[in-house]
Structure 1
């Protein structure tokens, strides 16, 4: 088999982390041994031993619930096991070998040749282990255990159903590995992470680089290029395990909506003049600021025409079947006149953010908080570590214009949320990233927030519009659940609306949507335009977010079907969404 054919047969063969890329890596997707462990007794039975064979197979990185995995088991799975043989190239014996997981839901333990190399808690953030000391010459065995319980109240589950069946706006579950697994070779001293802050007003970017290994006296050099032309270079001596570099740029090209003007970045680490490590990255130049009721990008008020994107796929569930599907979801959104999305109840994979960066597509980062009990401070321990991992991974994406750790923090069994949980998460998020606005909890119940947003699924355009009319003239600002949250003058928008139920070609009795179904396509479009016009015409609304881009299983309020076929004429929807908003410059 030729190399190109081998790549075509490998599921999700593309490099999974395009903003931090090395040349020496091995994709471990494909066929693994697999076994469901309903009794969670596999550790007691020593499934982790290198000579223990599992009874089935699965195609990684697709979850066992999915068709693409080859398993398609839909019931609850308390634990699942994976096993695979690997051979590490002889050339990798010098340096370190890292084993990376894009995401595994939920609690993971990994063994190499029967020795545990580490554990990870969290179903959405990426993690890795240095497995160098556990490798042997020739064949090595990777064993992975993933434990998952979406009904426990102790883990964020997002839109994964806590019942046997999908229902309402909760869908098929994802258990175990659902993003790419790969090996990476690094030197003994290597660049481990980058935090980049764009500063176009001063024609530069500021970088904080983390270094792994023994790096005393090492030097880092960063070189920026734009369309193949070198536009900046800077170096710094490593102090401890970090280096801080300000990189001046001879040319300023702004990242804007619809124009993802990206710079290429090459980073190198040298010790005593000898090259140690090299990483390829990229960045975009843009600023975000709040100015009164406006949220400005590069100093201009840009109306955020957002759509709710759930990140689900008919055959892959949480995992896109290929990289093209990720790009296509942005394309079909833009075709209908949207300029961005709320990435809803899920940390999306880095490849999606890469395409958003490339295409100039605005996104809000959100965690999958549904299912997690935050009525006591104990909820922090199951939320904050993973949220920080996700922020650290995604910080450098220019497309990401705001953080929203929680969504609709409803009461749990009659007990109210612990407001201090939301306050602490907000404050920590702002400490990690003072450059972006933060919504503490989208919709309700706000505690401390940079943006005040509401969810409003009123299906009547007249009553919908009237609700927000007084604030146009300095009158009362509408606040849902006014006994639980208080408006304090922040920028204001409706971050979920519409959700219009439309499925004339689907007769499934389980179908679900918001409110009453329109009687005709004409009625749908009149309602859609009436609701959207009310927001575009409002001088104090900086954006909207329509529910939703495509149907997901039984939820049929998408503008596209689940398999991404448009339900309506693209030009008609684009015309409604695209006209100038009252708040825009």
Structure 2
């Protein structure tokens, strides 16, 4: 077993596993409460760092070895590393899975790069600073001003303690840090768009440098057998079509994945780069009020997954834990998840692809003050980075860029949108988000704002938390409207989009085994169910309301696990079950009335 935490290769759709170096493990760090570290040249004076931290776990987590949970707006990290001598002459890349929020990196005291955004992965070319075979020092400064209104924090708490549906904060490095050596003209990325109807994959390669006479080869395989090989001149952005003989489509019941190898050769035919990848051949589209997967209507039985862990906060303690969360969801009868107010790490989507698990990609939009131009700019910049990183994953079937952008109470709406001009600025911004998302990825539906105020959307999503089935039914089909609307005077008109109940439930139940250790937590509706049977009955009566309605295209139950004081998961925070095996699967596995398949 590796002594390095999270030792697995982090990027399974773009693999060069013979030329990488994992930098997870012990780093030195120093809190910078006065935010004066740069002025004091801490990027050079690393001997003064007074703590040890285990990367990639944030300092708020127990797995980091620190567990400090008050605000840390500024922190410095440092570690020594040695680039392998055989990397001499190569381009050396320094990759970060994610750093919350703004990162500045120095190599031996010289600035190597800056990145802004707490959820997107990023890379710096440090070739100019690299000294293969010689010990060097990397310093990372993370600035995390969560309460500024200019950065998305998702469900991180904006007060000193966790409260309501806000939880322990995440500061600094929270995903794998690693080095990679590549040829100067290596492949930089390759977008893979499945064409299920045509039986093809459309590739869009991008190269670090364009060179005359270089070629790009895509080799498609299935189950170890080569199917197709296509070679073209290496040219950034020029599409490449790869035919798929006897296509086998990716779906939850058969999550079949094709393997790709991408090769770049120079003008003499010499191999300068080799990247391994994979892809799923599948199609997602909308017809009328239904979502279709591979030209068949699909009822999405999703669960809200916030991706928090008791010991790692936003960072899973292991790769196995990422996989296990998906397995737990499947065992409870769900066929996918709305990944809520967090950008999950790439390894999660790898397991979702492998296991046939439908997901919605979401940005941690809570905390952004939409009235601030800087907030809007930062959001759009990072959201497109997130889509760019994850666009190749077949398991992602929708994008959900915003969540509950303003609570639809008259008091809150009056503050958020005091006049028509302010409301229209918000609508214009959301339409812009929708248009940019669709421009970048026209192959998936976009849920502009999950619940509350829609401005331009492919999916009509609502959050009807109701205590009883009768109340839920009345909310979903109001007498004065075709569908539920949270703020009729503020949102766009419903025009027949798929109608999805993408938050509901939230019923609190604490098993006897956890009642002594449970926090003074909460669930929706003020209910405090006492037995697994009561929980199942409450869930089932509301599932039955939704699957009996032919106009409802799916739902998302709140939620997969308890998170700190929010105790409404179908599993406890430590992932132990609340309900005997099979009971939930029978309920959540129910098909809608229109589905006549066996």
* TM category, shorter: over 0.9
Matched, 1:444 2:461: no
User: For 1:53 and 1:254, how far apart are their aligned partners in 2?
Assistant: 56
Counterpart of 1:491 (choices 491, 495, 498) is: 498
User: For 1:332 and 1:319, how far apart are their aligned partners in 2?
Assistant: 18
Q: 1:51 to 1:455 in 2, by over 3 A?
A: closer
**Offset, 1:584:** 3.2
User: For 2:562 and 2:349, how far apart are their aligned partners in 1?
Assistant: 21
Task: Please name the residue that 2:515 is paired with.
Answer: 506
Counterpart of 1:168 (choices 164, 167, 170) is: 164
Cα distance per residue 1:174-196 (max 9 Å; x no partner): 00000000000001110001111
Q: Secondary structure in 2 aligned to 1:426? A: helix
- Between 1:503-512 and 1:490-499, the stretch displaced more is 503-512
Task: Please name the residue that 1:254 is paired with.
Answer: 249
TM-score, normalising length: structure 1? 0.96
Q: 1:378 to 1:476 in 2, by over 3 A?
A: same
Task: Please name the residue that 2:13 is paired with.
Answer: 19
Cα distance per residue 1:285-311 (max 9 Å; x no partner): 000010111100001111100000000
Counterpart of 1:74 (choices 63, 69, 72) is: 69
- Between 1:209-218 and 1:308-317, the stretch displaced more is 209-218
Counterpart of 1:54 (choices 26, 49, 58) is: 49
Q: 1:409 to 1:51 in 2, by over 3 A?
A: closer
Q: Secondary structure in 1 aligned to 2:509? A: coil
**Offset, 1:211:** 0.3
Write out aligned runs for 1:400-415 (5 A). 400-410=396-406, 414-415=415-416
User: For 2:551 and 2:121, how far apart are their aligned partners in 1?
Assistant: 38
**Offset, 1:526:** 1.6
**Offset, 1:51:** 5.6
Asked if 2 retains the 8 angstrom alpha-carbon contact of 1:26 and 1:184, the reply is yes
Write out aligned runs for 1:185-224 (5 A). 185-224=181-220
Task: Please name the residue that 2:36 is paired with.
Answer: 41
Task: Please name the residue that 1:141 is paired with.
Answer: 137
Q: 1:470 to 1:176 in 2, by over 3 A?
A: closer
Cα distance per residue 1:347-383 (max 9 Å; x no partner): 0000000000000000000000000011354432120
**Offset, 1:316:** 0.3
**Offset, 1:63:** 0.1
Q: 1:214 to 1:377 in 2, by over 3 A?
A: same
Asked if 2 retains the 8 angstrom alpha-carbon contact of 1:237 and 1:243, the reply is no
Counterpart of 1:158 (choices 154, 158, 161) is: 154
Task: Please name the residue that 1:369 is paired with.
Answer: 365
User: For 1:476 and 1:26, how far apart are their aligned partners in 2?
Assistant: 56
Counterpart of 2:546 (choices 521, 535, 544) is: 535
User: For 2:231 and 2:324, how far apart are their aligned partners in 1?
Assistant: 39
Task: Please name the residue that 2:576 is paired with.
Answer: 565
Counterpart of 2:87 (choices 85, 92, 96) is: 92
User: For 1:519 and 1:452, how far apart are their aligned partners in 2?
Assistant: 31
Task: Please name the residue that 1:420 is paired with.
Answer: 428
Task: Please name the residue that 1:267 is paired with.
Answer: 262
Matched, 1:334 2:330: yes
Q: How many pairs align?
A: 576
Counterpart of 1:108 (choices 97, 103, 122) is: 103
**Offset, 1:232:** 1.2
Cα distance per residue 1:475-507 (max 9 Å; x no partner): 732222212222121110100000001125436
User: For 2:259 and 2:246, how far apart are their aligned partners in 1?
Assistant: 13
Q: Secondary structure in 1 aligned to 2:439? A: helix
Counterpart of 1:433 (choices 413, 423, 441) is: 441
Q: Secondary structure in 2 aligned to 1:332? A: helix
Q: CA RMSD in A?
A: 1.6
User: For 1:379 and 1:75, how far apart are their aligned partners in 2?
Assistant: 24
Task: Please name the residue that 2:530 is paired with.
Answer: 520
User: For 1:17 and 1:519, how far apart are their aligned partners in 2?
Assistant: 42
Write out aligned runs for 1:120-135 (5 A). 120-135=115-130
Asked if 1 retains the 8 angstrom alpha-carbon contact of 2:194 and 2:282, the reply is yes
User: For 2:46 and 2:251, how far apart are their aligned partners in 1?
Assistant: 54
Cα distance per residue 1:453-479 (max 9 Å; x no partner): 1001101111212333469xx973222
> What runs of 5+ residues in structure 2 fail to find an aligned partner?
418-422
Matched, 1:299 2:295: yes
- Between 1:27-36 and 1:405-414, the stretch displaced more is 405-414
Asked if 2 retains the 8 angstrom alpha-carbon contact of 1:65 and 1:172, the reply is yes
TM-score, normalising length: structure 2? 0.94
Asked if 2 retains the 8 angstrom alpha-carbon contact of 1:113 and 1:135, the reply is no
Task: Please name the residue that 1:396 is paired with.
Answer: 392
